[in-house]
């Protein structure tokens, strides 16, 4: 009986959360298109999101490229298809691995950052203070952050992709004696706009999801410093989860377009 | 003396204010009037709805029912623009200072001016205004520091400077002395008084600090169980026989 | 303070510019592959079957990627126009007699259009020109016909064999045949024809054999076209069949020859032959079949000559012959 009740509560809570998040997203769109626009703050946030995540994204990208190539090499050698390495790694990184890994890393850094920052601002009444000061805190804090994440993530993904390919080409250079020029030639031979464009569009959505959940969790933080921790934590969990949902939908949709 | 200071012009009028959060009925028909130039202290226990009431005054929280008039305007009836305009006439000192962590002191003070430039038509340089506000609280040298580098008392003073930078007609103080040691608290109270003298503002102070209330108040309202339970000067209230009133002043 | 902000903005600007540049470079490199940014001209070719060719597939000229497939239009049920965008700088190298074929890029590769230089002199192609095409499916068709003919020939020879065998064994009757002198002449002529064609078959076979070798070692033009291993294998099988049937034809012809000679010399067991009308009829029909068969065979050989696949080779042969004649 109690378990059943608990389940019902949880389900209710789940849909409540989704509804809440949707309202939050709708509010974002409404506020984002109406002036005034906080350009200066947007730039600051872009810097925070973009430049400050670059090193992290590049490090993980490099390692992913390295590992992906090292792990695939024996199998490809077995099939006598090791010369296909650049094509395979190139497509998998540009299409899927690059955007998803970058987005996951960023959800760890950016979403939690947003959650904690906005959460502490909420708890210490800084958000109220802003509103009293005649600045729409939603515009100033939320819209700029979501926009910054949405705009910066595709760029981060591109950097991540490049570094991952570089890592992969290093392995091929030292283990397979493949020159960088040949490697990248093959990569770009394998790639088409059908790989790059959906991945880039996907990255925008990833950025949006990261920004949205981070801000949502931060903005709705409950009272007390404990609420800030919870906000940061749940922001990461929710963002990561939503990323995969978005990824699934994106792959599904782009697949349909491929068919056309 | 008192009669001379408090004119008949009404700055805040609250009638039958009700607000509930879920099942928790916080305000159950609160009434209050603040006259121009008056210092009114609202006292209540923690969770008695003081903060809710003061946030209703600036439209941060929408009441369930009741009428709130601030500076002659009914809050409920205002659109966002009008509300912002009204807010520029109200200074608000938050409980925890609420300085923006990511900005310097100067940027903190400039922040309210971003949207309320109308008030400063012709002034492109905000620096003199910032300096003046900081000098009022004696912290002109902290202009380029970050809030994290300030002590609790300094933060509160900077927050006070921020509250008065728009030269408001009314200042709302939410627990101005909470979290401060008695000496710093006294300094803050002194500052509040000097600012009021200098700019002739009205002030609504909510606190549970009896010392603060005694020093600053001209009139007090006790908020108990969601209603204005008792009203009067500090001397009147302290002599009251009502046990609920007495509970406030027991040390 | 303002300094700090401007440094931040500068760094952000650097980040954004670099990122955008990367996107642009990547787009350029990808687009370059699809010939979006170089000056192009278009050529087209008509195919019966494009074997899954898609818009965006590569166009190769002598093994170099020079463009992409731009448009594939179905004109009618057997005519598909494939429009190709080709780098302008390659125009002077592609001549009007170049031939477009559809092939695949490696074992698991995508389809592509191969443009192969034609044999002999020709002027460069113009924008919008239609190249001569060679559909792989037509070579397959040809091989199929060849194989059917081959089967026919085999059938024919076995018929003949039976007849001649019975003739030589003196079992049949050939009265009708013998009374009919025209028929005898015909038979002679047919045998000559048969001989001729069998010679020709073996000659063609030799030619084809050489061709196959060339194909396998990838030296000739056709080599590239034939490098599709499956059809090469098929062709080889057919050649083996042809070979064996030509031997049979040869044998039959010899038999017939011998037999006719016997008739002429009046040495055979004629009485027996003349009584059997059934056999005579059968023989006549067989003769007709032979005629028909050789005709078909000749046609096929002619077709082979004209077909793209082998034409080049025959031309080369002709040239060499000419050269030899001149010498």
pLDDT at C262: 57
> To probe the interface with A, which of B112, B113, B147, B161 has the most A CB atoms within 10 Å?
B112
Q: Do B98 and A129 touch (CB under 8 A)?
A: yes
pLDDT at C303 over 90: no
Q: Give the whole-number percent of chain C exceeding pLDDT 90.
A: 0
- The answer to whether B210 and B46 have CB atoms below 8 angstroms apart is no
Q: Residue A255, SS3?
A: helix
DSSP state of B117: G
Q: Express each pLDDT in C64-99 by its tens digit.
A: 888 888 888 888 887 888 888 888 888 888 888 888
Alpha carbon distance, N-terminus to C-terminus of chain B: 30
**B178 CB within 8 Å of a chain C CB:** no
| C267 band by pLDDT with thresholds 50, 70 and 90 | very low
Q: What angle do CA C15, C18, C24 make, to 5 degrees?
A: 140
- Residue among C22, C29, C32 whose CB faces A159 most closely: C22
> To probe the interface with B, which of C1, C2, C4 has the most B CB atoms within 10 Å?
C1
Q: What angle do CA C5, A137, C14 make, to 5 degrees?
A: 30
pLDDT at C319 over 70: yes
**Lowest mean pLDDT segment, chosen from A20-29, C66-75, C287-296:** C287-296
Check residues C268 and B130 and name the one with the higher pLDDT.
Answer: B130
CA dist C210 and C223 (Å) reads: 11
Tell me the CB-side half-sphere exposure of residue A180, using CA atoms within 13 A.
6
**Lowest mean pLDDT segment, chosen from A121-130, B19-28, B108-117, B134-143:** B108-117
In SS3 terms, B178-223 reads as: CCCCHHHHHHHHHHHHHHHHHHCCEEEEEECCHHHHHHHCCEEEEE
- Residue among B87, B97, B102 whose CB faces A132 most closely: B87
Write the CA distances from B90 to B165, B207, C170, integer angstroms.
10, 18, 134
| A165 band by pLDDT with thresholds 50, 70 and 90 | very high
- Residue among B98, B101, B112 whose CB faces A134 most closely: B112
- Residues in chain B with CB shorter than 8 Å from the CB of C2 are none
C203's tokens: 């000659």
pLDDT at B6: 47
**B242 CB within 8 Å of a chain C CB:** no
Query: Shortest CA distance to C225 belongs to which of C294, C127, C133, C287?
Result: C133
pLDDT at B45 over 50: yes
pLDDT at B146 over 90: no
Range of the domain at A183: 35-259
For residue B19, how many other CB atoms are within 10 A of its CB? 22
Per DSSP, what are the bridge partners of residue B13? B33, B69
Q: What contacts 24+ positions apart, CB below 8 Å, involve C21-29?
A: C22/A158, C22/A159, C22/A162, C23/A154, C23/A155, C23/A158, C23/A200, C26/A158, C26/A188, C26/A191, C26/A196, C27/A193, C27/A196, C29/A188, C29/A191
Q: What angle do CA C200, C205, C208 make, to 5 degrees?
A: 125
> To probe the interface with C, which of A99, A154, A187, A193 has the most C CB atoms within 10 Å?
A193
- Whole-number mean pLDDT of chain B? 80
B neighbours by CB contacts (3+ pairs under 8 Å): A, C
Residue A24 belongs to a domain: no
pLDDT at C202: 60
Q: Do A124 and B96 touch (CB under 8 A)?
A: yes
Check residues A110 and C144 and name the one with the higher pLDDT.
Answer: A110
pLDDT at B195 over 90: no
Range of the domain at B184: 2-249
Close Cβ partners of A47 (under 8 Å, ≥ 6 residues apart): C8, C9, C11, C12, C15
Q: Do C12 and A47 touch (CB under 8 A)?
A: yes
Angle in degrees, 0-180, between the axes of helices A85-92 and A52-78, rounded to the nearest 10: 140
- Residue among A43, A159, A188 whose CB faces C30 most closely: A188
pLDDT at A205: 93
DSSP state of C124: B
- The string of DSSP letters for A36-69 reads P--HHHHHHHHIIIIIHHHHHHHHHHHHHHHHHH
> To probe the interface with B, which of A132, A148, A224 has the most B CB atoms within 10 Å?
A132
For range B10-15, the mean pLDDT:
82
**Lowest mean pLDDT segment, chosen from A181-190, A213-222, B211-220, C311-320:** C311-320
Q: Is the C-alpha dihedral spanning A238, A239, A242, A243 positive or negative?
A: negative
Query: Structural domain tally of chain B?
Result: 1
Q: Do B60 and A131 touch (CB under 8 A)?
A: yes
Q: Express each pLDDT in A104-137 by its tens digit.
A: 999 999 999 999 999 988 888 888 888 888 788 8
pLDDT at C223: 47
- Chain A's closest residue to B172, CA to CA, is A132
**A192 CB within 8 Å of a chain C CB:** yes
pLDDT at A4: 75
**A120 CB within 8 Å of a chain B CB:** yes
Q: Can the peptide bond before residue C211 be classed as cis, meaning omega within 30 degrees of 0?
A: no
Residue A176 belongs to a domain: yes
B89 φ, ψ to 5°? -95, 0
Q: Express each pLDDT in A220-242 by its tens digit.
A: 887 777 888 888 999 999 999 99
pLDDT at B1: 36
Q: Residue A172, SS3?
A: helix
CA dist C251 and C257 (Å) reads: 10
Instruction: Give the CATH number, domain containing residue B120.
Output: 3.40.50.300
**B144 CB within 8 Å of a chain C CB:** yes
**Lowest mean pLDDT segment, chosen from A203-207, A217-221, C110-114, C190-194:** C190-194
**A134 CB within 8 Å of a chain B CB:** yes
For range C282-297, the mean pLDDT:
64
Residue A22 belongs to a domain: no
| B118 band by pLDDT with thresholds 50, 70 and 90 | low
**C29 CB within 8 Å of a chain B CB:** no
Residue with tokens 């952050």: A145
Q: Residue C147, SS3?
A: helix
Residue A3 belongs to a domain: no
Per DSSP, what are the bridge partners of residue C113? C59, C102
Strand locations in C56-135, DSSP E? 58-61, 64-76, 79-87, 99-104, 111-116, 130-134
Q: Do C11 and A51 touch (CB under 8 A)?
A: yes
Q: Do B87 and A133 touch (CB under 8 A)?
A: yes
Check residues C209 and B158 and name the one with the higher pLDDT.
Answer: B158
Q: Residue C70, SS3?
A: strand
Distance to chain C for A189, nearest Cα, Å: 7
- Cβ-count burial B106-126 (b if 16+ within 10 Å, e if not): bbbbbbbbbbbeebeeeeeeb
pLDDT at B192 over 70: yes
| B202 band by pLDDT with thresholds 50, 70 and 90 | confident
Q: Is C236 exposed, middle or buried (0-12, 13-18, 19+ CB in 10 A)?
A: middle
Q: Express each pLDDT in A42-82 by its tens digit.
A: 888 898 888 888 999 999 999 999 999 999 888 888 887 78
Instruction: Report the DSSP pairing between strands B39-44 and B202-207.
Output: parallel
pLDDT at C274 over 60: no
pLDDT at A237: 92
If phi > 0 it is left, if psi is from -120 to 50 it is alpha, else beta; for residue A116 that is alpha
- The answer to whether B31 and B15 have CB atoms below 8 angstroms apart is yes
| C9 band by pLDDT with thresholds 50, 70 and 90 | confident
Residue with tokens 């049920």: C77
Q: Give the whole-number percent of chain A exceeding pLDDT 70.
A: 98
A103's tokens: 């987005």
A24's tokens: 């939050």
Residue with tokens 């001016």: B113
pLDDT at C268: 43
**C1 CB within 8 Å of a chain B CB:** yes
pLDDT at C308 over 60: no
**A128 CB within 8 Å of a chain B CB:** yes
> To probe the interface with B, which of A45, A119, A126 has the most B CB atoms within 10 Å?
A126
- The string of DSSP letters for B132-149 reads HHHHHTT-GGGTTS-GGG
Query: Structural domain tally of chain A?
Result: 1
Distance to chain A for B112, nearest Cα, Å: 5
- Whole-number mean pLDDT of chain A? 88
CA dist B69 and B32 (Å) reads: 10
**C8 CB within 8 Å of a chain A CB:** yes
Q: Is A213 exposed, middle or buried (0-12, 13-18, 19+ CB in 10 A)?
A: buried
CA dist C125 and A206 (Å) reads: 49
- Whole-number mean pLDDT of chain C? 67
pLDDT at B140: 80
For range B101-118, the mean pLDDT:
78
DSSP state of C89: G
**Residues on B contacting A at a C-beta cutoff of 8 Å:** 55, 58, 60, 80, 84, 87-88, 90, 92, 94-102, 111-112, 114-116
Distance to chain C for B110, nearest Cα, Å: 14
**C9 CB within 8 Å of a chain A CB:** yes
C53's tokens: 């060719």
pLDDT at C170: 47
pLDDT at A204: 93
- Residues in chain B with CB shorter than 8 Å from the CB of A133 are 87, 111-112, 114-116
């Amino acid at each position: 009986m109690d378990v059943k009740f608990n389940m019902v509560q949880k389900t209710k809570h789940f849909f409540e959360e989704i509804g809440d998040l949707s309202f939050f997203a709708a509010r974002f769109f409404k506020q984002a298109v109406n002036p005034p626009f906080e350009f200066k703050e947007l730039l600051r946030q872009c810097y925070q999101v973009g430049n400050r995540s670059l090193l992290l994204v590049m490090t993980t990208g490099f390692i992913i490229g390295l590992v992906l190539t090292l792990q695939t090499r024996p199998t490809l050698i077995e099939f006598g298809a090791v010369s296909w390495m650049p094509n395979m790694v190139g497509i998998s990184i540009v299409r899927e691995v690059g955007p998803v890994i970058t987005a996951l890393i960023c959800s760890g850094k950016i979403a939690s950052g947003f959650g904690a920052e906005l959460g502490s601002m909420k708890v210490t009444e800084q958000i109220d203070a802003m509103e009293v000061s005649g600045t729409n805190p939603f515009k100033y804090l939320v819209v700029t952050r979501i926009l910054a994440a949405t705009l910066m993530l595709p760029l981060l993904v591109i950097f991540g992709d490049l570094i991952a390919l570089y890592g992969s080409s290093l392995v091929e250079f030292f283990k397979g004696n493949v020159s960088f020029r040949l490697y990248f030639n093959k990569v770009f031979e394998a790639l088409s706009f059908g790989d790059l464009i959906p991945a880039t569009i996907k990255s925008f959505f990833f950025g949006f999801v990261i920004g949205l959940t981070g801000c949502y969790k931060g903005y709705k933080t409950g009272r007390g410093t404990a609420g800030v921790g919870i906000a940061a934590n749940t922001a990461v969990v929710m963002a990561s989860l939503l990323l995969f949902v978005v990824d699934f939908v994106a792959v599904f949709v782009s697949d349909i377009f491929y068919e056309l | 003396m008192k009669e001379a200071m408090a004119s008949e012009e009404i700055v805040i009028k609250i009638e039958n204010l009700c607000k509930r959060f879920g099942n928790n009925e916080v305000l159950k028909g609160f009434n209050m009037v603040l006259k121009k130039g008056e210092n009114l202290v609202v006292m209540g226990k923690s969770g008695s709805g003081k903060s809710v009431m003061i946030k209703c005054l600036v439209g941060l929280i929408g009441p369930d029912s009741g009428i709130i008039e601030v500076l002659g305007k009914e809050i409920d009836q205002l659109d966002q623009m009008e509300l912002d305009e009204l807010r520029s006439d109200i200074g608000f000192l938050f409980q925890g200072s609420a300085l923006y962590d990511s900005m310097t002191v100067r940027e903190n003070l400039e922040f309210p001016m971003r949207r309320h430039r109308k008030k400063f038509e012709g002034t492109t340089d905000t620096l003199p205004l910032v300096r003046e506000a900081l000098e009022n609280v004696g912290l002109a040298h902290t202009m380029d520091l970050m809030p994290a580098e300030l002590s609790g008392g300094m933060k509160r003073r900077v927050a006070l400077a921020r509250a008065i930078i728009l030269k408001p007609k009314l200042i709302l103080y939410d627990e101005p002395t909470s979290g401060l040691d008695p000496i710093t608290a006294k300094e803050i109270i002194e500052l509040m008084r000097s600012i009021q003298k200098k700019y002739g503002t009205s002030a609504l102070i909510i606190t549970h600090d009896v010392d603060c209330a005694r020093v600053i108040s001209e009139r007090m309202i006790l908020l108990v169980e969601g209603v204005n339970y008792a009203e009067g000067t500090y001397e009147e209230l302290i002599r009251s026989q009502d046990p609920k009133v007495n509970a406030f002043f027991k040390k | 303070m303002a300094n700090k902000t401007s440094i931040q903005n500068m760094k952000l600007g650097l980040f954004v510019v670099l990122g955008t540049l990367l996107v642009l470079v990547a787009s350029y490199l990808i687009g370059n592959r699809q010939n979006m940014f170089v000056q192009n001209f278009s050529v087209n070719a008509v195919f019966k079957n494009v074997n899954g060719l898609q818009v965006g597939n590569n166009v190769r000229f002598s093994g170099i990627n020079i463009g992409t497939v731009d448009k594939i239009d179905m004109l009618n049920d057997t005519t598909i126009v494939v429009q190709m965008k080709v780098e302008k700088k390659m125009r002077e190298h592609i001549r009007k007699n170049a031939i477009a074929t559809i092939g695949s890029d490696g074992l698991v590769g995508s389809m592509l259009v191969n443009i192969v230089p034609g044999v002999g002199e020709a002027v460069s192609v113009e924008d919008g020109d239609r190249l001569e095409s060679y559909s792989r499916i037509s070579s397959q068709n040809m091989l199929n016909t060849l194989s059917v003919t081959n089967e026919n020939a085999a059938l024919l020879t076995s018929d003949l064999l039976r007849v001649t065998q019975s003739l030589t064994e003196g079992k049949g009757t050939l009265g009708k045949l013998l009374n009919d002198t025209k028929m005898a002449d015909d038979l002679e002529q047919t045998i000559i024809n048969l001989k001729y064609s069998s010679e020709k078959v073996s000659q063609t076979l030799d030619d084809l054999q050489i061709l196959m070798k060339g194909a396998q070692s990838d030296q000739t033009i056709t080599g590239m076209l034939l490098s599709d291993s499956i059809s090469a294998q098929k062709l080889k099988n057919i050649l083996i069949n042809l070979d064996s049937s030509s031997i049979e034809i040869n044998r039959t012809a010899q038999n017939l020859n011998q037999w006719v000679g016997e008739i002429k010399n009046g040495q055979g067991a004629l009485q027996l032959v003349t009584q059997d009308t059934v056999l005579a009829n059968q023989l006549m029909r067989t003769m007709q079949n032979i005629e028909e068969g050789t005709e078909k065979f000749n046609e096929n050989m002619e077709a082979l000559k004209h077909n793209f696949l082998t034409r080049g080779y025959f031309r080369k042969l002709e040239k060499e012959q000419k050269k030899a004649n001149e010498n």
